[in-house]
Amino acid sequence: MDKIKVTFFSAKDYDKESFEKAELRDAVDITYLETRLSPDTYKLAEGSDVVCVFVNDDLNAYVIDKLYEMGVKLIALRCAGYNNVDIEHAFGKLHVVRVPAYSPYAVAEHAIALLLTSIRRIHKAYIRTKDFNFSLNGLTGFDLHGKTVGVVGTGKIGRIFIDICKGFGMKVLAYDKFPAENSGIDYVSLDELFENSDIISLHCPLTDETKHLINEESIAKMKKGVVIVNTSRGALIDSEALLAGIKSRKVGAACLDVYEEEADIFFEDRSGHILNDDLLSRLISMPNVILTSHQAFLTKEALNNIAETTVNNIITSFDNDWCCDNELCYHCGNIESCRKQRKKKCF
């Protein structure tokens, strides 16, 4: 079989290292591009069988049509989320596969790292001691033990985060549209979670239903001084409402690994440029906001899993008529479980 030609968008050095080591690497021919896939860059995939993309690549209806016209057959997401792909429009044109779980531990542990850094002022202490300032003034934090954490989304990442929180002696409240059966998790309504949580951590996908889940109305229901953690998708939070909540002292701290307008900003060195996003600039300027640039996934274990799963997804998709286990399909309207109902490819 001829090698499968893959155009790899939004490529970074750590991507190349992990994909070069991936098993079955000899079956694919990968061209790495630092460029993000968008309506302006789709032509770079000409002559390819596959486009391999990440969270901020834009696969709207226009891009999908153009890729289809060029003969591209597969969209290989090297991430779990797929809100940046018009799955419905892709049906009948391009197959779509993803990496449903690369390292839930990586993301859950990063959420905890952000939380601890924030409430114990570790980032501020680090900066002080680098300047030989050993004063403790202004560094007072609070114990996690005994606090109530509200966890929105109890998939693999959410449940691991819950286990870590329980290890700290925290009380856990959770909300999920589809509660995990026999999990022992204390599920409550969203309103009850908002009203009773000292800390709220988001671990749910971005959908039309969850967009701006954290907004002016929901923040108004929260405890004064609540800490909000988001390592999922930026648009789960209305950033304007979050900033207003911080300025009014309703929100005590925000720990963010994602931002709703991150696509043209994150993963790039902007240190020598003026940041045009005024809202992000204002958030970063707040002393009680910690922002990392979508790095929660970034561990050696996760990168290796992403590479191996993605390469296997590609090979499996071209190898036979059966559905790849990780295919996303709109045939029956149930994007993630369609393959369970129809073992063969839908088109």
Active site residue 262: yes
Catalytic residue among 98, 159, 203, 233: 233
Catalytic residue among 109, 260, 262, 327: 262
Q: Could you give the count of Cα atoms lying within 13 Å of 66 in the half-sphere of its Cβ?
A: 17
Catalytic residue among 36, 98, 159, 294: 294
Q: In the numeric block, which tokens belong to residue 98? A: 């993803």
- Tell me, what amino acid is at 111? A
Q: In the numeric block, which tokens belong to residue 90? A: 């892709």
Measured at the CA of 206, the angle between CA 204 and CA 211, to 5 degrees, comes to: 110
Q: Of 218, 210, 242, which Cα lies nearest the Cα of 81?
A: 210
Quote the CA–CA distance of 8 and 21 in Å, as a whole number.
15
Active site residue 342: no
Place of tokens 């190349």: 16
Q: In the numeric block, which tokens belong to residue 283? A: 């958030």
- Tell me, what amino acid is at 66? K
Active site residue 294: yes
DSSP code, position 45: G
Angle, helices 278-285/239-247, rounded to nearest 10 degrees: 30
- Reported as type and span, the H/E element at residue 50 is strand 50-53
Count CB neighbours of 48 within 10 A. 22
Residue 318: strand, helix, or coil: helix
How many residues appear in the chain?
347
Q: Which residues contact 112 (CB under 8 A, 6 or more apart)?
A: 161, 164, 165
- Tell me, what amino acid is at 237? I
Q: Which residues contact 73 (CB under 8 A, 6 or more apart)?
A: 49, 50, 94, 95, 318
Catalytic residues: 233, 262, 294
